[in-house]
Structure 1
Amino acid sequence: MIKCNLSRIMGERRLKIADVARDTGINRGTITRIYNETATRIEIEAIDKLCEYLDIEVGELYEKVQKK
């Protein structure tokens, strides 16, 4: 299973979804789905923008975890 750490990262940095959407140009709905881990497909460009904006690597944003 793939786990997204966006909510944790944004929480640690006290970032709001609206701010990230405005600063990255990524649709707010897209960020919300990534944040809530309900997204079924994510454009590589969106992942790239998030990683660049947050100054992180893809492996910090997403990780593979064992199913529970």
Structure 2
Amino acid sequence: MGRQPFGVFIRIDGVPDAVALAEITAMPQWMNLPGLGALVSGEVFWHATHNHQVRVRLDEWRAAGE
């Protein structure tokens, strides 16, 4: 996993070729990005088959917005 100003890159268990990103646009303003090495879960809401890009909405962000 890696942190960038626009979001967090995530490694997906069992899908080694995936390039997953949790974008900060989906994160509540008062929350912090997960730390490096943190175990997270979420929902894939977009993917591109040709280059294995995946966009993820983290469960903790979704729960905070409800």
TM-score normalised over the length of structure 1:
0.27
Question: Whose RCO is larger (CA < 8 A, sep 6+)?
Answer: 1
Q: Which has the higher helix share?
A: 1
